[in-house]
Amino acid sequence: MTIEAEPERDRLRPRISQTGETGRLDLAMPPPEVTLPALQPGRSRSPFAVAMAGFGILALTVFAIDLVQFVDGAFAHGTGLGVATVVAVAAACGGAVYWLMAELRGLWRLRSTERLRSLIPSALSSELKNEVNAAAIVLGRDPLLGVAVGRYRAILEPHHSGRDTLELFSRFVLAPADRLAEAAIRRAAAQAFAINAISPTALLDTLLFAARALRLVREIAEVYGQRPGLAGTVHLIRRLAGGAGLVGAVDLAGGLLVQQLGGAVVERLSAGAAESTYAAQKMARLGIIAMALCRPVEFGPGEAPSLRRLVTGLLRPHVAENQVCPDQTSSSRSSGE
Amino acid sequence: MRALYNPPTLTALMRNRTVRLAVTGLSQSGKTAFITSLVHNLLGAVGRPGRLPFLRATAERRILAARLLASARDVLPQFPLKSTIAALAADPPQWPSSTTDLRRARLLLRFSPRGLLGRGNPIGRALGSVAELTIEILDYPGEWLLDLPLLRQSYADWSHTTIGLARHGVRHPLARDWLDYLARHPADGAADSETARRAHDLYQTFLSACRAQEQLSLLQPGRFLNPGHMPDASVLWFCPLAFPVGGRPRSGSLAALMEARFETYKRTVVEPFFALLARDVDRQIVLIDILRTLNAGEAAFADQRLTIDAILAAFRFGRRSLLRRLFGARIDRVLFAATKADHVPAVQRDHLEALIANLVEAPTLRARQAHAQVAATALASIRCTQDGTDVIDNRKVDVVIGLPEGGERRIRFFPGIVPVLPPPSGFWGERFTAFPVFQPPRISDAAGDGIPHINLDKVLDFLLEDALA
């Protein structure tokens, strides 16, 4: 509403000024970038995070002092024992640091996704472009999505607005990622069907189903570039539980409870095949919810996969994978099974 | 060529189609540039789909081939794509000169449909999986559009309206000579061909001055400003005369002579043009150079709005259906585009889009009531600038940077604040008429790299998405 807010005398009039540059503009399309620019998150720290960091430093210091004393004690028993202890401690510390880094990386990716989603409704064009760019960098590290991200970056031009960038990202990167996620859901649904069909007890069925569901959530998170570690998985499950208002999650929890406590009743009420189909359907619904939670951009109208499409596609999961990146036929995603 | 000799596949039978696109726009609104960019970019869409990322068919790499169609049987000359591109690619480049007559561009796209009939589906592969879309676009002088509202007007009505306009506002000082002449030669005076000719010349001078000095748009008849190829120029020798309201010209009077020529003009010139323009049109894009009139002042802005409403009233909108095709074609998708979007920085393009949407509210409503799809966008068919910043009055502002026509050094251009609503009276300040004309960027005359643009792909996706689905 610029016109009412700014009186005519204060409004800037059209103006032309000279630059030192000469020659026609060259607006040829740039080649796709090979090296991706570094991210600049630039976020403020919360008091809780600062306090936790302080406690963490304290705990680390105490732990380090203990270690030094432990190593010192080992050296007191002999040089050989001391050296062996140092090597063992170094290996343990290295492993711990590696694990910690992986966890932090996974958590950072999750936060990055969540930040993008929260920004979309109100972000300025430049902010949105930065966040989408960050999400593209994360997804570009996936071997199967690398080509899709490369294409997206090749067509992106400076004049594209934040919304344009988001739409292109959705079309060129997220649509292929969705197909990968759908393929993962189909695999999981097929396995849930099999587990339910062959499981001798309801308890075992429940445990296997829960384990497979957990892996599906992690697979989907990975598809969207999140690669959650332990902390990331806990965070995801928490969000999934938080989103239990979503009918599917409630249904899932209810279904698990019924299987756990009232297996006999269920057995009487439904035939085995029907129950297996129901299990596959539950797995698919869980997968759709996980997709909705992990996707960096919320589904637009008509974009979310329907249960029917997923279940009917159970017989052709390989098609979905091949469609992800037609140019990259040799690579394939490790299913981890 | 193989398709000419082989029997058509089932996919081709089901999906082959011709889309007739009406490119509607006043003079200097960028029709020729739009057609050039559209055709050139679609021709390059197979090799360089990245130029049109928002056009789904190219993004999904479903366009398999594109070529220009030339038909010796076509009564209209072919759109001069090669020479236009060569002029744009030359050093120094040249913008296409104003269109002076009718021309037609016909483009054939071979594409793979989506879904069942597509290449990704076994059924589609069995049925052929390739369809063809022919796009027909007519190029013509924008001034001619101004004649369309005349079809619904009598000579008396037109005279009354035109003289009323000429006696008020910014038109009045420019119309003085013509109005004085009319005062000396009343409408009910004896018919005299020389008097009519002289009155016509003065009226034509008045129209030219309105356009050049005040950048007005509602300047009828359009052929007075751009006659095109006219076998008999005498058909133009008329002008409006001052009539009493509801009066009829006396037989043998000057007014009767003028009225006869007016009706002949409508019958022999305007009606055939409109028939050609509106016949079997499926899609319409209305190009409006809103920035120029926004800076030219309140009168120019209001006049442009009035003109667009009057022109669009001549077109029929409605959902496409078999019955409607049998009993008269309807336009089922209409897109209003504010051209020269590269003259405003990115942050203001949303304003431009909102302003155009608000400006065309009335025709939009009419089209929607007829169940046509309508959209509005900001468009630069050929992008000549890049975004930058400048400091004006100690304020950092976004500007566009480009090389002005005839200049050697690039300039920063701040176009003022583009309002999102049609501006109220308090908005208008000093007029700014030195609107820069930027040189086009470096363009390759081979179809490969295409032409840089802003939102051309969105425009194409809106207009052709269903035909390429």
State yes or no: pLDDT of B320 exceeds 50.
yes
Residues of B with Cβ-Cβ distance to A14 under 8 angstroms:
295, 413-416, 432, 435
Work out the pLDDT band at A314, boundaries 50, 70, 90: low
pLDDT of B109 reads: 92
Residues B215-221 have a mean pLDDT of: 90
> B392, B417, B462: best mutation site toward chain A, by most A Cβ within 10 Å?
B417
* Better pLDDT: A74 or A227: A74
pLDDT of A38 reads: 38
Q: How far apart are CA B105 and CA A141, in angstroms?
A: 45
Which of A127-136, A276-285, B261-270, B428-437 is predicted least confidently? B428-437
Q: Which amino acid is at B306?
A: L
Closest-CA residue of A relative to B294 is A14
pLDDT of B12 reads: 73
**B108 beta partners:** B67, B134
Whether the ω angle into residue A228 lies within 30 degrees of 0, i.e. cis, is: no
**Angle at A266 (CA atoms; ends A264, A270), nearest 5 degrees:** 125
Work out the pLDDT band at A39, boundaries 50, 70, 90: very low
State yes or no: pLDDT of A313 exceeds 70.
no
Six-digit token pair at A177?
A: 């990622």
- Minimum distance, in Å, between the CA of residue A292 and any CA atom of chain B: 24
Q: Do A151 and B440 touch (CB under 8 A)?
A: no
- Minimum distance, in Å, between the CA of residue A176 and any CA atom of chain B: 11
pLDDT of B317 reads: 75
- Minimum distance, in Å, between the CA of residue A29 and any CA atom of chain B: 8
Which of A110-124, B72-86, B401-415 is predicted least confidently? A110-124
| DSSP structural state of residue B327 | S
Element (H, E) at A251: helix A247-261
A5 and B CB contact within 8 Å: no
- Sign for the CA dihedral angle at B113, B57, A313, A302 comes to negative
Which of B346, B413, B432 is nearest residue A13 as measured by Cβ atoms? Answer: B432
Work out the pLDDT band at B172, boundaries 50, 70, 90: very high
State yes or no: pLDDT of B39 exceeds 80.
yes
Six-digit token pair at B5?
A: 């000799």
- Minimum distance, in Å, between the CA of residue B416 and any CA atom of chain A: 4
* Better pLDDT: B283 or A246: B283
Q: How far apart are CA B405 and CA B355, in angstroms?
A: 28
* Better pLDDT: A295 or A330: A295
Closest-CA residue of A relative to B401 is A19
Q: Do B414 and A12 touch (CB under 8 A)?
A: yes
Which of A3, A18, A25 is nearest residue B409 as measured by Cβ atoms? Answer: A18
Work out the pLDDT band at A34, boundaries 50, 70, 90: very low
Residues of A with Cβ-Cβ distance to B350 under 8 angstroms:
161
Which of B384, B412, B427 is nearest residue A8 as measured by Cβ atoms? Answer: B427
State yes or no: pLDDT of A25 exceeds 90.
no
> B112, B377, B409, B418: best mutation site toward chain A, by most A Cβ within 10 Å?
B409
How far apart are the two ends of chain B, measured CA to CA in Å?
23
pLDDT of B140 reads: 85
Q: Do B53 and A22 touch (CB under 8 A)?
A: no
* Better pLDDT: B67 or B118: B67
Q: How far apart are CA B301 and CA B217, in angstroms?
A: 9
**Angle at B466 (CA atoms; ends B460, B469), nearest 5 degrees:** 100
Work out the pLDDT band at A4, boundaries 50, 70, 90: very low
For residue B360, which of B136, B24, B22, B21 has the smallest C-alpha distance? B24
- Minimum distance, in Å, between the CA of residue A7 and any CA atom of chain B: 8
> B54, B88, B431: best mutation site toward chain A, by most A Cβ within 10 Å?
B54
Closest-CA residue of A relative to B428 is A8
Which ipTM was obtained for this model? 0.70
* B277-303 pLDDT, tens digit each: 777 688 889 899 988 888 888 888 889
* B406-416 pLDDT, tens digit each: 888 999 999 88
Residues whose CB is less than 8 angstroms from the CB of residue A66 and which lie 6 or more positions away in sequence, other chains included: none
For residue B12, which of B72, B67, B64, B69 has the smallest C-alpha distance? B64
Which of B56, B342, B392 is nearest residue A15 as measured by Cβ atoms? Answer: B392
Which of A114-123, A268-277, B141-150, B169-178 is predicted least confidently? A268-277
Pairing of strands B409-414, B283-288: unpaired
Which of A16, A319, A326 is nearest residue B436 as measured by Cβ atoms? Answer: A16
Q: Do B50 and A151 touch (CB under 8 A)?
A: yes
A303 and B CB contact within 8 Å: no
Share of chain A above pLDDT 90, in %: 1
Which of A11, A17, A19 is nearest residue B417 as measured by Cβ atoms? Answer: A11
* B323-380 pLDDT, tens digit each: 455 445 578 888 999 999 999 998 889 899 999 999 888 888 888 888 888 899 999 9
Residues whose CB is less than 8 angstroms from the CB of residue B326 and which lie 6 or more positions away in sequence, other chains included: none
> B414, B445, B449: best mutation site toward chain A, by most A Cβ within 10 Å?
B414
State yes or no: pLDDT of B306 exceeds 80.
yes
pLDDT of A319 reads: 40
Work out the pLDDT band at B33, boundaries 50, 70, 90: very high
Q: Do B414 and A3 touch (CB under 8 A)?
A: no
Check: CB of residue B269 under 8 Å from CB of residue B234.
no
Burial (CB count within 10 angstroms: exposed 0-12, middle 13-18, buried 19+), residue B60: middle
* Better pLDDT: A245 or A226: A226
Q: Do A2 and B50 touch (CB under 8 A)?
A: no
pLDDT of A276 reads: 75
Return mean pLDDT, chain A.
72
Q: How far apart are CA A165 and CA A132, in angstroms?
A: 7
Whole-model pTM: value is 0.74
DSSP letters, A72-90, are HHHHHH-HHHHHHHHHHHH
Q: Look at phi and psi of residue B439 and say left if phi exceeds 0, alpha if psi is from -120 to 50, else beta.
A: beta
**Portion 112-131 of A in contact with B at CB < 8 A:** 125
pLDDT of A337 reads: 31
Residues of A with Cβ-Cβ distance to B452 under 8 angstroms:
27-28, 157
Residues of B with Cβ-Cβ distance to A323 under 8 angstroms:
120
Helices (H), B185-239: 193-214
Work out the pLDDT band at A10, boundaries 50, 70, 90: low
A18 and B CB contact within 8 Å: yes
Residues A192-202 have a mean pLDDT of: 81
Residues B69-94 have a mean pLDDT of: 84
Share of chain B above pLDDT 70, in %: 92
Q: Which amino acid is at A216?
A: L
pLDDT of B330 reads: 73
Pairing of strands B17-25, B131-139: parallel
Check: CB of residue B175 under 8 Å from CB of residue B168.
no
Work out the pLDDT band at B35, boundaries 50, 70, 90: very high
* Better pLDDT: A301 or B390: B390
Six-digit token pair at A105?
A: 């990386």
* A94-105 pLDDT, tens digit each: 888 888 887 777
For residue B121, which of B189, B71, B62, B207 has the smallest C-alpha distance? B62
Which of A32-46, A67-81, B39-53, B214-228 is predicted least confidently? A32-46
Q: In 10 A of CB A205, how many CB atoms?
A: 23
Residues B458-464 have a mean pLDDT of: 94
**Portion 150-169 of A in contact with B at CB < 8 A:** 151, 154-155, 157-159, 161, 164, 167-168
Residues of B with Cβ-Cβ distance to A12 under 8 angstroms:
392-393, 395, 397, 414, 416-417
Most confident of A220-229, A267-276, B111-120, B354-363: B354-363
Residues B225-230 have a mean pLDDT of: 85
Return mean pLDDT, chain B.
85
